Structure formats: C-alpha cells, structure tokens
Structure 1
Amino acid sequence: MSSASPSPSRSNGLVCGSMEPGPANTIADVAGVTVGHVTLNEGDLRTGFTALLPHQGNLFREKVPAAVEVINGFGKSAGLIQVDELGTLETPVLLTNTFGVGTGANALIKRAIADNPEIGRSTGTVNPVVMECNDGYLSDIQAMALTEANAISALEAASPKFEQGSVGAGTGMSAFGFKGGIGSASRVFTLDGRTFTLGALVLANFGKPGDLVLPDGRRPHHKDLKKVEERGSVIILLATDVPLESRQLKRVARRAGAGLARLGAYYGNGSGDIALAFSTAYRLPHFTESDFIARDILHEDKIDLLFQAAAETTQEAVLNAMIASPAMRGRGRNKRPSLADWLTEQGK
C-alpha cells in the first residue's frame, strides 16, 4: 500500500500507471530540489513566476547534467540551445508567461553575477534558462506586469513543499479547455538494491478542448468547452537522482511525450511542448584542475524504468495541475471551468 501523500488526481480515484509514487508525490521527492512561486492575481492579471532549483548550492560553480527535448518548437524559451549543446544546467529554471522570458533571464543573470562576480569578466557568461507558456486568454499579457523582483521572490520562496494548481506561472494557464496550471508527481524504483526517484513538474497550458482522456477512459466535456484548434503549450521539468549523462537524459525527456499522448494530446501546430531533464546524482564543477571527471553512469539496459516513470509522472502532473485549479474568470470576463468540478458532478 502506498504511503505517498494523496495527489489531486489520486484523491479523485485517477491513478496513472503502475509505479509507486514518492512520499510527497512531487518533484521535490528528488532530494535537494525545491520549487517557489510568485502569483499576480488581480484586475486583469492572472500570471506569475515559478522557480525550480536543482540543488541548494552555487549552481554556476556546480552544474548538473541536463538535456532538452523539443517535442514541438512553437515557443520562446531562453537558454535551451546551450543546454542542448553542453548538456549542463547552470542556473535555476524559471517558468512564466511568454512576455516574461526576458525579465526572468535578466533576474537569473543578475543573481548569478551577485554570487559569482567573475561571470563575464575572468570567466565566461552565464546561461539563464527560462521557459514559457502563453496565459493571454485569462491574463493581460500585454501589460508585461512581471518584474525582476517578482522572479527573485519566486527563487527565494523555493521550498520542498509548494502549491499546485493556479499559482505562480500556472495562474492564468488553460488545458484541454479547462483551467490548467502547475502540477507535479513522482515515482520511486529500485536499482542495484537502492531506491531512486524521478519527479516531474509541469506548466500545463495545452490540449484541444474535448480531447482529454482520463486514466479510466472517460473524456470530460463541459458546456463552456468550444472546439478550437490546439494553440497552447506545456513545459515539463524532469528531475532524477539516478546518475545519467546528458544523452541519456535527453532520451528520458523524450518519454514525457508519451505522458502527454496518454492524455489525448497530439502536439498541435501552435503548441510549444518542451521537456527538460536533469540529474542531481553528481555535479560538474565550473572550475577544476583536472582534465577528467569520474562519474557513475546508468547501464543503458536499465533505463526503461526511467522511461516509464517519465511517462507516468508527466501524465499525473498534468492532471494534478488541472484538478488543483478552481474555475477562473480573467481578462475580458474570459472563463475556464474546473476539471475538479466536472469530476464532482460525475461523482468522481
């Protein structure tokens, strides 16, 4: 019997896959990972920042291996080219709306310089990673209301315990015509007699209304759902404590797409669907006197466990984002119904 905290989806009898969830059933079950939010929810604003920190040290000096999989590239994220080329992550990751990317990048750069004054002087520059979805249906995205101070506050608020649903970057997001947002899930498994974890954090803002498929096969529909083309996006962050190289992490990130497909998504033309995966198992020093780095790497024959975990956690994290988000009205009285309300009406 699982001792995990009940997630919004599991509390409604919706179980994704067969693997065991971690104690909190969030990405923070991977030791050292923390998440923080800043939310702007007033007037015509439904937006914010969500920050994820892979560890609590100096990330520029102690990078983590990482990889990016662009499932569909209709997006305006920052920093992904270098992550793909070098296979490392050297700043926290910020999630936000499309027009907040530049603001978030500036905040990450200034924070990194404050901690590492040699950046751009005696050593190279820093690669800020900011990823986005468009919350313009519910929020006045043209207001460009988010500030660098908001981004820093999200970073400073990072904790192993964090809210899901309509918070931070997820405040104004939509999914499958319902209210979307921030969601998370985790899975634990055994390798060489040791317990390891893989967790997902998603910013869910995608899916064609009427296409959502629940794990029990039901297809939720609401009178306010209108058949329109797929124009949203989804960002998936995957963290694990399994020692993987960047090539393996890219393979794991690719399987997030399987979780999206289980939900009924087909990665529409206007959808920016991007997965970033990283490992906390070892750190890559920025400054080193050695020409070589010794590290353990997972045997490729054992990677299927992580593929399955990536698919299951992505699927569950999206459902958690939707079920944790109440119905919302926003800019221009636009409205998104709540999946939780639909489930209640159906008797779950």
Structure 2
Amino acid sequence: MKFRTLGRDLLAGQTGKNNSITDVRGIKVGHAQVWTDHPFVQRTGATVILPHEGNVFEEGVFAHTEVMNGFGILTGRDSVNELGLLASPIVLTNTRSIGTGYEAVMRYFLDYAQIDYDLPLPVVGECDDSYLNDSRGPPVPLETFQAAFKSASDGPVEEGAVGGGTGMELFDFKGGIGTSSRIIEIQGTEYSVGVLVNANYGSRHQLSVLGRRIFETSAGEAKDGSCIGVLATDAPISSEMLSRLSKRMGFGLARTGSVANNSSGDIFISFSTGRKITMEPYSIDSGRLKEQEIKRTSTNFLSNGAINPLFEAAVSATEEAALNALFQAKTTKGYGGHVLEGFSETGYSDELGLF
C-alpha cells in the first residue's frame, strides 16, 4: 500500500486524486513485465510515460534534465537540454534493453505520428536489475514495450515490482516504480506537480524514513545503484525553470538516504504541459523558424519569484514517490535464487514508530 495509507499524514503537501504523476492532466503511464524462469530467470519489464494527450511528436513541451551522478543513461538528454523541449514518450527499462526501448519509441512514432519528415530522438532511461534478472538472457522484447504503450492510462499507477521496476532493488529491499503528486497554488491559480521514479539505489544502512533510521549506519557497504526520476507539472514554466526543478528531485532522494554513490546513475527529467510547441522540421526555412521562436519567447511563464511552491512540491513528491516504491514492492525471488524482501512485509515499519 502507499506510504500515506500506513498511518498519520506525515508528509507535507496536498496530493492529487491518484497521488501519482497522472494527476497532471493528460499524462498517461503504462507498464508491462517479463516474468519467466526458463530458459533464463527474468524479472524485468518496461514503463512508458506519455507527456500529454496529444501527439507527443508533433507537439513538444518545455523540458530540461539534470544529473546528480552520471553513471547511467537517459537517451535524448542532450537534445532535450539543447532545445529545451521534450517531443518523445519517456521509457524506463533495464540496462540491457536500452536499444529495444529506443526501437519501441521509433515504432510508436512510425505507427502513430503521421509525420513524413525527420525522426524523433527517443528518451529512454535505464537502471541495472541484474541482481534479480539474468542479464545473460535476451533484452526486454519489443512486444513488451508495445504492451506498455497500449496499457498506458491516466488512472492510478501501479507501483513497486512492476514495469521497468520489476527487478529493481532499493536499500537492499525490493524497489521499483513509485509515484506521488502535489496540488499547489501560485498567485491564485491551482497547479499540479507529479513525480515518478524507478528506484534502484542505496544500501540498507543508508535508508532514512522521515528522518529516522532503523539500521546501523556502519553496517554493510554502500550499494551503487541508480534512479531515473520524471517530474511533470501543468504550471507554465520555462526550460530554465524546469532545470531547477530537476535539481530539486535530488533533494527528495536525499531525504530517503540517497547519497548518489560512486557508480550510481541518478538522472532526472522535468517537463511542463502548461504550454505546447508545434514541432517543425529541422530543415525548414529560417523565416518559419523565426516565427516559431517568437511564439516560444512570447509565452507567459511564471516568474522566478513565484517558483518556491514548485520547489517544495518537487522535493516532497520525489521523497514520497521513492517511499511508495519501497512500501509498495512485494518480496521477489529471482535469478540465482536471490530474494529481495518487500519492506512493508518485514515488520521493520513498526520499528520506525511512525504508524
């Protein structure tokens, strides 16, 4: 169950209806898993995030990425930062399957985009699930990615050992997908902020729940893992502001105990659905490019002085998303007989004295 439902309301901020990234209107999330024991033991999958209800290839949204520790991959990151725009679905999977995820976005583009020029630069993020998933086996099949696209909806998002989080490990417990949202008010207008993480980081002694630790700080050796974080908001903000929001996601992970270990890939992407930009062919004449740039620069963004509530929401929602990944995940046995316990099934939550 979600962290909030376990006891008193201990986390700051008002959540949306689903307490998930889908509380930002138009966003859809889909999952699909690979769960087999023969010929390889595989516990893996794919998660797809569609940034808005329209054609994501034809209408871009303002976006930016940041890296807390760079031992990981989020494809398309350079182009997102260069243009300040996201014009692709976001796909989360394991390290072995980056290539198949990239191809899945291309197939989705060719099937649905109705564009006869240029090609997208897919945004695909990875985490290593090889503790539970036999990486000697095949990558996640194209059909699994396609199933994730097909299942995408704007309803409640399944969390834990699901989709791209099926084989992930969090603080030596079972981890995976977690999500949360915040409803905030800025200058009399209500906005939504949603976060989704694929949480695969940390050692048990690093775990902190609302500032409380239940394991010896000297126990064990820090695990180098990864986390791909996705933040969405309907607040009209620029790519520069979205860069600042992406940085705040790292603060949210730090609240749970993350220190972005040496070989951890902690990469964040934030985007705003508050304004959409019609994507033009890269080769169009300079006159039309100038016209498009005028449309971009004339957009009414929130001012820097108004952004603090967004910062607070980004930090709090990221913290809760990671805790949801921890508390929602169930005990999973995988490759080599390895077992990761579901934190909420162990009784350790009682020792926190929070509930």
Q: TM-score, normalised by structure 2?
A: 0.90
Shift of 1:265: 1.1
- CA root-mean-square deviation: 1.9
**1:166 counterpart = 2:161:** yes
Question: Which residue identity is paired with 1:268?
Answer: N
Secondary structure class of the residue paired with 1:21: coil
2:231 corresponding residue in structure 1: 238
User: Equivalents in 1 of 2:80, 2:119: separation in Å?
Assistant: 14
Shift in alpha-carbon separation, 1:21–1:29, aligned structure 2, 3 A: same
**Any gaps of 5 or more consecutive residues in structure 2?**
282-287
**1:152 counterpart = 2:146:** yes
Map 1:60-209 to 2 at 5 A.
60-116=57-113, 118-119=115-116, 123-161=117-155, 162-209=157-204
Of 316, 325, 330 in structure 1, the residue corresponding to residue 329 of structure 2 is 325
Secondary structure class of the residue paired with 1:81: helix
Question: Which residue identity is paired with 1:333?
Answer: G
User: Equivalents in 2 of 1:18, 1:345: separation in Å?
Assistant: 21
**1:272 counterpart = 2:265:** yes
1:282 corresponding residue in structure 2: 275
Shift of 1:17: 4.0
Shift of 1:28: 0.5
Shift in alpha-carbon separation, 1:81–1:287, aligned structure 2, 3 A: closer
1:337 corresponding residue in structure 2: 341
User: Equivalents in 2 of 1:54, 1:16: separation in Å?
Assistant: 30
Shift in alpha-carbon separation, 1:40–1:18, aligned structure 2, 3 A: same
Post-superposition Cα deviations, 1:306-327, rounded to whole Å, max 9, x if no partner, equal 1111110110001101111111
Shift of 1:230: 2.4
Question: Which residue identity is paired with 2:131?
Answer: Y
Question: Which residue identity is paired with 1:329?
Answer: K
Secondary structure class of the residue paired with 2:204: coil
Aligned residues of 1:169 and 1:181 also touching (Cα < 8 A): yes
Secondary structure class of the residue paired with 2:104: helix
Question: Which residue identity is paired with 1:318?
Answer: A
Question: Which residue identity is paired with 2:53?
Answer: Q
User: Equivalents in 2 of 1:220, 1:339: separation in Å?
Assistant: 12
Shift of 1:15: 4.9
Question: Which residue identity is paired with 1:317?
Answer: A
Post-superposition Cα deviations, 1:160-217, rounded to whole Å, max 9, x if no partner, equal 22211110011100111111010100011112212101010000000122111111x3
Secondary structure class of the residue paired with 1:283: strand
2:3 corresponding residue in structure 1: 9
**Any gaps of 5 or more consecutive residues in structure 1?**
1-6
Question: Which residue identity is paired with 2:273?
Answer: T
Secondary structure class of the residue paired with 1:281: strand
**1:228 counterpart = 2:221:** yes
Shift of 1:344: 5.5
Shift in alpha-carbon separation, 1:16–1:71, aligned structure 2, 3 A: farther
**1:27 counterpart = 2:27:** no
User: Equivalents in 2 of 1:287, 1:115: separation in Å?
Assistant: 17
Post-superposition Cα deviations, 1:217-243, rounded to whole Å, max 9, x if no partner, equal 332449xx9713322100110000000
Question: Which residue identity is paired with 1:157?
Answer: S
Shift in alpha-carbon separation, 1:23–1:117, aligned structure 2, 3 A: closer
Of 303, 306, 312 in structure 2, the residue corresponding to residue 302 of structure 1 is 306
1:4 corresponding residue in structure 2: none
Question: Which residue identity is paired with 2:144?
Answer: N
User: Equivalents in 1 of 2:99, 2:153: separation in Å?
Assistant: 24
Aligned residues of 1:16 and 1:312 also touching (Cα < 8 A): no
* Count of aligned pairs: 336
User: Equivalents in 1 of 2:62, 2:135: separation in Å?
Assistant: 33
Shift of 1:16: 5.7
Shift of 1:14: 6.6
Question: Which residue identity is paired with 2:161?
Answer: S
Aligned residues of 1:16 and 1:315 also touching (Cα < 8 A): no
Secondary structure class of the residue paired with 2:88: coil
User: Equivalents in 1 of 2:53, 2:227: separation in Å?
Assistant: 26
2:285 corresponding residue in structure 1: none
2:209 corresponding residue in structure 1: 214
Question: Which residue identity is paired with 1:325?
Answer: A
Shift of 1:86: 1.0
Map 1:255-266 to 2 at 5 A.
255-266=248-259
Secondary structure class of the residue paired with 1:255: helix
User: Equivalents in 1 of 2:144, 2:201: separation in Å?
Assistant: 25
Shift in alpha-carbon separation, 1:30–1:117, aligned structure 2, 3 A: closer
